[in-house]
Structure 1
Amino acid sequence: MSSSCTHLDSIEITELPEEVPGCEDCLAAGGKWLHLRICLTCGHVGCCDDSPSKHATAHARSTEHPIIRSLEPGEDWCWCFVDEIGFRIPQVTGSTRIPPSPMLA
């Protein structure tokens, strides 16, 4: 495990979307998510590891896109799957309106 992320050059998304409808994969499959994460390489929105399908992690593994950011209100943390480290990236700006979690309904 690294003491810092060595994949910052993979970041393409520096402005968060204004709104997302939910986890892209859960919406396509009729699944449910708990929390939402965005891939900072391509903008794919997936669900967290506390969700049944863990789509954010699955996306990172299948694409080798290393860094996600939380889209949850009040959260601005990022996670690098390769270096296994959490951190903040102040250059990623904006906030995203998200729907309520279907798991909490």
Structure 2
Amino acid sequence: MTLSALDENHPHLHASTYVAESAQIIGNVWLAAKSSVWFQSVLRGDSDQIVIGEEKNVQDVNICHVGPGSPLEVGARVTVWHRCILQGCKIDDDCLIGMGAILVDGV
């Protein structure tokens, strides 16, 4: 796993979080308890923050990003299936994001 600070922002992971070896967590990213980020997924909080709720599962090869003034907020008990793009959107609790979904600013 790669954990990288960006400027003065660095990832914050709960002790119970699992991050796969090839995943990258960069900048202002917060992962809550029992969350997981799987192989080749990238979470990059550069121009705003990414907040991931409890028991969230980001499966393989996902891109999670933000825009200026558009944080990415993902609720508890959410599963993001493979090859999704999430940018600057808000996802409520108890959701399933299907394979290949693209959700961008304002959703």
* Short-chain TM bin: under 0.3
Give the number of the structure whose residues are more often helix, by fraction.
1
TM-score when scaled to structure 1? 0.24
Higher Rg: 1
| Higher strand residue share | 2
* TM-score for the superposition, normalised by structure 2: 0.23
